[in-house]
């Protein structure tokens, strides 16, 4: 826990979408914070009245143009962002949803400036990949085989 907590900062529910095809995971380069200019799983905030699966399918379509079917919840991640003084700036609770592509070839849109299909080696070596996205992607591709 940081030295300081910001009472006004409330957890924000969000989704990240994990699409795995042919030994590769779909990543997008984010245009906006958090993680601007970094590679991450597509995703974003859950809208009021929207289910996790609906949010995942919508966010994937907005950021990549892909049409998908949500399959299962993979994990949930707390993403806490602090300033240099230790004050909490934001808190996202991100639920990772595995989806299967049903249509589309993929093109960057909305919050994504690029899309990439990365294999294990690229995921391990990419210096511009968010740590949480790296961890989730490697677990999906390699499972318990990494160690």
Could you tell me the CA-to-CA distances from 135 to 51, 84, 92, 129 in Å, in that order?
Answer: 24, 25, 17, 10
Could you tell me the CA-to-CA distances from 31 to 48, 53, 67, 85 in Å, in that order?
Answer: 23, 23, 21, 26
Instruction: State the catalytic residues.
Output: 114
């Amino acid at each position: 826990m940081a030295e300081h907590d910001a009472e006004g900062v409330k957890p924000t529910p969000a989704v990240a979408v994990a699409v795995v095809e042919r030994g590769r995971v779909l990543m997008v380069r984010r245009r906006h914070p958090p993680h601007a200019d970094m590679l991450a799983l597509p995703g974003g905030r859950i809208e009021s009245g929207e289910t996790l699966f609906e949010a995942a399918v919508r966010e994937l379509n907005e950021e990549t143009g892909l049409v998908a079917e949500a399959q299962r919840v993979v994990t949930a991640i707390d993403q806490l962002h602090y300033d240099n003084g230790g004050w909490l700036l934001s808190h996202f609770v991100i639920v990772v949803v595995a989806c299967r592509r049903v249509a589309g070839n993929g093109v960057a849109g909305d919050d994504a400036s690029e899309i990439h299909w990365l294999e294990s080696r690229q995921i391990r070596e990419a210096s511009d990949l968010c740590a949480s996205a790296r961890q989730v992607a490697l677990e999906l591709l390699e499972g318990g085989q990494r160690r």
